[in-house]
Each structure stands twice: as C-alpha cells, then as structure tokens.
Amino acid sequence: MKREIHKWYSPGLNKDWEIAVYGYSGKALLMFPTAAADFLEYERFYLIDAIAPFIESGKFKAYSINSINSESWLNDSMEPKHKAIRHQQYNEYITNEVVPFIFNNCKGELPIITTGASLGALHAANTLFRRPDLFHGTIAMSGSYDLKTYTNGYYDDNVYFNSPVDYLPNLTDENILNLLRQRRNIYIVTGQGNYENPEASRALASILSVKGIPHELDIWGYDIPHDWPSWRKMLPYFLEVKF
C-alpha cells in the first residue's frame, strides 16, 4: 500500500502537525482519531489494514489526521474557555488547511467523506454538519454527539456550535439545510455491547429525521462493544456496501 507522511507548520494551531496518507486515488476518507490519539492510531490498531482492499483498489484514499483533544476537552489543566477556543481552532485547521491539502494532493476537488470512532465520531459528524459545502458524507461510529459530555458543565457559543444535538435542532439556514438534504452518505452506526451508547446515536438520528436530512442509523448487536474489533468490522462494511 502506498503510504506517505506529510507535515507542515499550521498557522491555525501554531505548531507542526502531521497527516498520514494511504493510497493513490479515489474518494477522500478523512479519519479523525479517538480520544487523545494521534494520526497513526488507525494504523496501529489495524483499521488501515482492515480497509486496505478499498485503498489498494483505488476506491478510497485515506487521510488520517491528529486529534486536538489532549489540548482541549481531555486536558484537565486547561481553563474550559480555552478548551473551547482550541476546539474551534481545530475546526478552522480542518477547513482552511486539511481540505486544501487533500484537494492539492488529489490534483483536484473531489468528495471528502469523514469518519471516526468514539470521540472521533463526534468530530467526523460535526465537521460534516458545519460545512456540508466541503464534505459529502460521514461514517460516524460509536459516538456521542452531545459535546457537553466532555465539557464538565462548561457552556459557551463554541460548545453550542460544536455540539450537534444542540445546534442542529435550531438550524434554520436553508442553504446549509439544503446541502445536508442533498447528502446521501450520512451513516450513524453503533453497537449495543459493553461501553456502547446506542441512545446517543438514536438521539442524533431523531434530530436528523425532524430536519429532513437523509441518513442511515445502523445499530449493531449486543456482541459489538466499544472497541477496535467492532470498528474494524464497521468501517469496511460501509465502504463496501454503501459506496
């Protein structure tokens, strides 16, 4: 498999930041790590191996990025306000730096599908919902889409506008809603095994239904825990069956 590591100084994050690229052609798959992990997490836990057939066949080109969570919601030494600001800076890094990098790397604009597991699922879904002009779908696995789960009671505009279960019910911008309604690749998937929270996925799906946003809620069985073997089954399934 073709594999490249790219690194540049991010003016938005004020630090050097890496991205791993797998493959040579196809739709772009933007991968958000779980929790406080890094850009090689999906490789270390063999998820890249699990989706290798879709990469090697040229169906997808995968882009695995760093998370900012250890510098925001998972950093207990930071003031909550600064955690929220850092999260917003991460959003801007994605749209202002990662998206142009993907288009340049692919020699043109093409559909970008976001994906992630656990906290990465929140980032993946939130990224699409905020900017459906740039992203064309999401495969969100085992997520909670209420950012307040991670904020320990802190709440401001940066929390609100990054918490899909908060801002989506109040979304009235017809341009954004129409773009989201045109998307046909929104997949909210979860298991029902240990440490999974299927109610979080049901809550998000209910909001999408009320807003008339096409999506698929896929709740797997009680034998599917919140763990890597589950995600190594989920992601290849959706890449094969839904795309």
What are the pLDDT digits (tens) for 199-208? 999 999 999 9
Given this model, what pLDDT does residue 4 score? 98
Task: Give percent of the chain with pLDDT exceeding 90.
Answer: 99
Q: What is the number of domains present in the chain?
A: 1
Token digits of residue 223:
């034998």
Domain span at 46: 3-241
The C-alpha atoms of residue 34 and residue 143 are separated, in whole angstroms, by: 10
Rounded to 5 degrees, φ, ψ at 106 are -95, 5
What confidence tens digit (pLDDT) does each residue in 17-65 have?
Answer: 999 999 999 999 999 999 989 999 999 999 999 999 999 999 999 999 9
One-letter amino acid for residue 61 of the chain: K
Task: Give percent of the chain with pLDDT exceeding 70.
Answer: 100
The C-alpha atoms of residue 35 and residue 56 are separated, in whole angstroms, by: 28
pLDDT at 184 over 90: no
| Mean pLDDT of the 223-238 span | 98
> For position 213, which CATH number holds?
3.40.50.1820
Q: List the one residue out of 111, 141, 109 whose CA is nearest residue 125.
A: 141
Given this model, what pLDDT does residue 20 score? 98
